[in-house]
Amino acid sequence: MFQRILCGISIILCIAYADFKTPIEVGTSNSYRPFAYIDEQDKAAGYDVDVLRLLSQYDKRLVFHFNPQAWNALFVGLDAGKYQMLAYQINKTKEREEKYIFSDIPYFYGASVLVVRGDSRIQHIDELKGKKIGVGLGDSHAFNLEKYLDKHSDLNIKIVYYKNSPPQIADLANGRIDAIIDDPIAIVDTAKALNVNLKATDFVLEKTPVFFIFPKTQKELKDTLSQALQKAHKDGQLKALSIKYFGKDYTQD
């Protein structure tokens, strides 16, 4: 009888204490305002970071340590076991779904929008035939633009890839590229900090749900975090955080 009780306690403890290391090492961006960046106090900041801080209030096992990096270093770190998850406005692709697992629900719905200089009259991608468009190397906006141009090869648009936003913004301001495809919230905010005037057009390439991403070995962490995320979504705290940052609820399609 005593042994049965001990076995029962062991099962409960296994359920109560998830099988993942803490603090949880999170790979995130160092320069993607307002989603993930390094603030003036040299600390990780932004919406994506604060979503995880919010989730830690729902489950005390969710203790995070943030590692801000350039985009191209994040998946390398994830594959090498340096990070247990990534938080950087990441969408699903067929290739990623074959290799990784994702949070059960999105925590944000982004949009790939055509962004131009503040004095530009361009409103549609069709006006950029034979021109250059900048995108982030390997990000969801690059994927969406590549997919679009595969179907509209007659536009003869050249894609220019950037590792982070500031050089991309500088090239647009100086006329080395003609437009950017990005989330308008992020790119316009970053440009403003650099004293560059950009504006979003009404041309939306695609709306994209974004997820937290994990190696397949981190299923326990993925499940635990997803439960907390669902609670934050259900009780309105995730929506409130979106409104705090953007003045609008971007947590639903």
Mean pLDDT of the chain: 91
Angle at 204 between CA 34 and CA 196, to 5 degrees: 45
Q: What are the backbone dihedrals phi and psi of residue 50, each rounded to the nearest 5 degrees, phi first?
A: -70, -25
Of 6-20, 88-102, 237-251, minimum mean pLDDT range: 6-20
Using 50, 70 and 90 to split pLDDT, how confident is the model at 16? very low
Identify which of 93, 91, 50, 111 has the alpha carbon closest to the alpha carbon of residue 253. 111
Mean pLDDT within 47-60: 98
- Note the pLDDT of residue 71: 86
What CA–CA distance (Å, rounded) separates 142 from 159?
8
Torsion of Cα atoms, 242 then 210 then 184 then 40, to 10°? 60
* Residue 4 pLDDT greater than 60, yes or no: no
Q: What would the two tokens of residue 77 be?
A: 């770190």
* Residue 5 pLDDT greater than 80, yes or no: no
Mean pLDDT within 47-58: 98
Using 50, 70 and 90 to split pLDDT, how confident is the model at 10? very low
What CA–CA distance (Å, rounded) separates 27 from 24?
10
Mean pLDDT within 54-79: 96
What CA–CA distance (Å, rounded) separates 84 from 224?
13
Mean pLDDT within 20-48: 94
- Note the pLDDT of residue 50: 98
10 Å Cβ neighbour count for 166?
15
What CA–CA distance (Å, rounded) separates 208 from 19?
31
* Residue 188 pLDDT greater than 50, yes or no: yes
Mean pLDDT within 91-105: 95
Report the 3 state secondary structure along 101-136: EECCCCCEEEEEEEEEECCCCCCCHHHHCCCEEEEE
Using 50, 70 and 90 to split pLDDT, how confident is the model at 7? very low
Q: What are the backbone dihedrals phi and psi of residue 21, each rounded to the nearest 5 degrees, phi first?
A: -75, 145
Higher pLDDT, 58 or 252: 58
Evaluate whether 164 touches 69 at the Cβ level (below 8 Å): no
Domains of the chain: 2-108+210-246 (3.40.190.10), 110-207 (3.40.190.10)
The model's pLDDT over 107-128, given as tens digits with 9 standing for 90+, comes to 999 999 999 999 999 999 999 9
What CA–CA distance (Å, rounded) separates 148 from 199?
21
- Note the pLDDT of residue 9: 43
Using 50, 70 and 90 to split pLDDT, how confident is the model at 138? confident
- Note the pLDDT of residue 18: 61
Mean pLDDT within 39-46: 96
Higher pLDDT, 159 or 137: 159
**Model pTM?**
0.77
* Percent of the chain predicted with pLDDT > 90: 79
Q: What are the backbone dihedrals phi and psi of residue 117, each rounded to the nearest 5 degrees, phi first?
A: -65, 155
